[in-house]
Amino acid sequence: MKTRYLVPGDYMADPAVHVFDGKLYIYPSHDRESGIPENDNGDHFDMNDYHVFSLEDVETGEVTDHGVALRVEDIPWAGRQLWDCDVAHKDGKYYMYFPLKDRNDIFRIGVAVADRPEGPFVPQPDPIRGSYSIDPAVLEEGGKYYMYFGGIWGGQLQRYRSNKALEAAAFPADGEAAICPKVVRLSDDMLGFAEEPRDLIILDPNGRPLTQGDTERRFFEASWMHKRGGKYYYSYSTGDTHNICYATGDSPYGPFTYQGVILPPVLGWTTHHAIVEYKGKWYLFHHDCVPSGGKTWLRSLKVVELEYSEDGTILQVPAG
């Protein structure tokens, strides 16, 4: 199929996508004209609500907008910037995990709960204890749920080591092991962490951790996890070099071995995605800034079919 724009009348980005009740549900960020100048901390991405979308035919079907599911003003501990979210389903309830800056301008991860996949979602009174940074993505495996999270620069991951805040942000030297994304198992009630977050290690084909200076391959933000053929596929954005890459492993915790690029750079500063199987086909949901004429803070939601080779490697998707 050709790449398809899904919500031409509005600006949506950073999609999380899942199959619930036989439909595809899309949980994107909602871009807007904030009037805030661009900077490396992403202050101009000042999103203040989430919409939920669904569709039953990826290639030609109508996209249903279920309206606003959660607003910044609904969240008791809110500061600003409602960035990329994800949703998980357990025992008839739907749990939305969202990053939001608190009143001290520190990103935390919150939880909101709904009875339906389209919401509305009711937020918990406080963020998850011990949470930090951005871009939560949740995998269900054998009745357990694992969250993957983190993002550097504006995502603030460089401000932490061993789950503790540093006095000042710190980056490894180019030849040292890169800052790692995080993985943590969720508690049985889905409202907290069941353990301390762990580093998710990405290795090169020789078994060495990717280095901070390896900007074409190392992690920056936008975690996503899916499973196919008994393998776990961890995919992510390299951020300032604008690739969507992936690595594979045999456990939800890893380690993961780098495999290649899924999507080369598109028009726009950020790149963020979701991968999902639906009706026997695999799809890559992502965004670019073509409809807005290249305004990096006004991104548009896209989908294209994703294909695998016989050995399980992902075939690279053209950027257009």
Cβ 235 vs Cβ 243: under 8 Å: no
Examine the residue annotation and report whether 135 is marked as an active-site residue of this protein: no
In the block, residue with structure tokens 């809110």: 78
Residue tagged active-site, from 84, 118, 221, 288 = 221
CA distance 229 to 310: 11
Q: In Å, what is the CA distance from 230 to each residue of 19, 20, 88?
A: 19, 22, 21
- Other CB atoms within a 10 A radius of the CB of residue 8 amount to 11
- Residue 279 class from Cβ within 10 Å (0-12 exposed, 13-18 middle, 19+ buried)? exposed
Examine the residue annotation and report whether 310 is marked as an active-site residue of this protein: no
Residue tagged active-site, from 14, 31, 86, 288 = 14
Catalytic residue IDs? 14, 221
